[in-house]
Amino acid sequence: MSVLDNILKNDLSRRIYQSIKDLPILDYHCHLEAKDILEDIPFTDISDMWLKHDHYKWRLMRRAGVDERLIYGNASKEEKFRAFANVAGFAFGNPVQDWANLELSKYFGIDLPLCLENADAIRSLANSVIQERQLSPRKLLEISNVEYLATTDDPITDLKYHIQLADEGFKTIVKPTFRVDRCFNIDAPDFWDYVVKLTEIAKTDASFDGFLQAVRIRAKEFKSAGCQFSDVGVEGLLDWNTELDVIKAWLSRASYQTNLSDINDVPFKRYESSGNEKPLKTLPAHASVYSYKSAKEIFDNRRTSTIKSNQRQAYLKFMTQFWLDLCYKNGFTVQMHLGVLRNVNKRAFKKLGADTGFDAATAAINTNGLRRLLSELDDLPNIILYVLNPTAYHSITTIAESFPNVSIGVPWWFNDHKRGLFEYFEIMSDLSHIGCIPGMTTDGRSYLSYARHDYFRAILASFLSRFEGGDERIMEVAKAISYGNMKKRLTK
């Protein structure tokens, strides 16, 4: 029985799936590179396509006890492929096993189950298909029927590849996303080097005002290149909004030997200051500590010193509100990734670097902080929230329901398996409106990962088949989720 047959177990689910399976893909959040798409160099080996960038597979292999030499090391392609095939063959219930078998069937016409016994035959057959069909980034996007994809790009990214793709009229629309993590991570060792580079590109100076202006300039340049989304996924994004953190941040001001009676911070509405605020005589409201003046002071001190956790939180507060205001002005849809712990294995991070499979989910998400953030600004951009810890779904969904332009994104990262998708659909139908789900996104680093849309659509069809009330209306909802809702957002 195939992966999809195992999901589509009744006639209605199969009919729903048939009605949506060939709809174009709108991948509004992925980690593919515009440069690779422009150059379009054909692939040569499925081992590279699967194992060169995919930390999902690396995590699974590490958990199964595979030596690092066969994961991120210098082992041969054959050795790495056999090691992965052996692990995947026993990984029942893990989505990586399902995705791998779906990809083999969809792109290579191979229906042998992935396991060690079949590894050599599968690799040989797949590599023959790669050679015969000259599979390349553009060819795979065409096969997958990808109509639109948004890459993930730092503000310092050179957008020339996106612009060249647009100029030559490539069928798949490839646009950048304004990813601001490095602007937020003031405690990163290379933060000041990053500030210098960003301000040089934007032709401003490395003062705090120059830095903010550089972010504004680059946002406008991204918009000119067709950017419609901005994204952030830093650790502790909402942790600055608890009362205890407020007090800590306030007290940290005393460590700068500042006269508290002379502080001119006011509750934040926008990042500009009029300069006419009255001095504060008492402990301010939670937003007051995190004003422009506080963030500037922390930024300036970062030139010569490290940052304490409560200072990072104060800086994050200001930068988050500055960023949301910037996105509103530029018409960007915001994507916020909530509940992530980055690089939890510091030894592995020191040895292998970031994005190598050592991130995790937080035990909780500060929903009170989210409520305050969404309430404080006068104007909110359209926002999609991705929730890494599903225990927060109930609270975050009901908060989002209080703000018409805030929605909950599809299950992200550790939640994009069958159970996680069913749980998400149930929450959306119970507490929200299932027909308003923004749509599936891969978050992928592989051109083969578009098979995940088949997986998503099959699980969606299975979920919707449980309802009565008219097959046509059910299929209309399935089409809206799979394509129509995001298409409307992109064409506004």
pLDDT of residue 255: 44
Domain ranges of the chain: 44-135
pLDDT of residue 200: 98
> Token digits for 394?
């109930």
Residues in the chain: 492
Q: Which residue has the tokens 């692939």?
A: 43
pLDDT digits (tens, 9 = 90+) for 133-166: 999 999 999 999 999 999 999 999 999 999 999 9
Tell me if the domain spanning 44-135 has CATH number 1.10.2020.10: yes
pLDDT at 225 over 60: yes
pTM over 0.85: yes
pLDDT digits (tens, 9 = 90+) for 312-367: 998 999 999 999 999 999 999 999 999 999 999 999 999 998 889 999 999 999 99
Rg value, the chain, Cα = 24
pLDDT at 252 over 60: no
471 C-beta neighbours (distance < 10 Å), count: 15
pLDDT of residue 159: 98
pLDDT of residue 81: 98
pLDDT at 34 over 80: yes
Residue range 373-399: mean pLDDT, rounded = 94
Decide: residue 148, CB within 10 A, 0-12 exposed, 13-18 middle, 19+ buried: middle
- Please provide the DSSP assignment of 198-240 as one string: HHHHHT--SSHHHHHHHHHHHHHHHHHTT--EEEE--TTTTGG
In sequence order, what are the beta bridge partners of 341? 360
pLDDT of residue 265: 37
Q: In the 8-state DSSP scheme, what is residue 24?
A: P
Exposed e or buried b per residue across 112-145, where buried means at least 16 C-beta atoms within 10 angstroms of its C-beta: eebeeebbeebbebbbeebeeeebbbbbbbeebe
Q: Say how far apart CA 210 and CA 403 lie, in whole Å.
A: 33
pLDDT of residue 377: 83
Of 230, 222, 231, 252, nearest to 240 by C-alpha is: 252
pLDDT at 96 over 90: yes
pLDDT of residue 251: 52
pLDDT of residue 354: 87
Angle at 298 between CA 297 and CA 300, to 5 degrees: 65
pLDDT at 287 over 70: no
Q: Say how far apart CA 172 and CA 159 lie, in whole Å.
A: 17
Element (H, E) at 398: helix 393-400
Q: Percentage of the chain surpassing pLDDT 90?
A: 81
Q: Where are the alpha helices (DSSP H) in 169-207?
A: 181-184, 191-202
Residue range 403-418: mean pLDDT, rounded = 94
pLDDT digits (tens, 9 = 90+) for 163-173: 999 999 999 99
pLDDT at 268 over 60: no
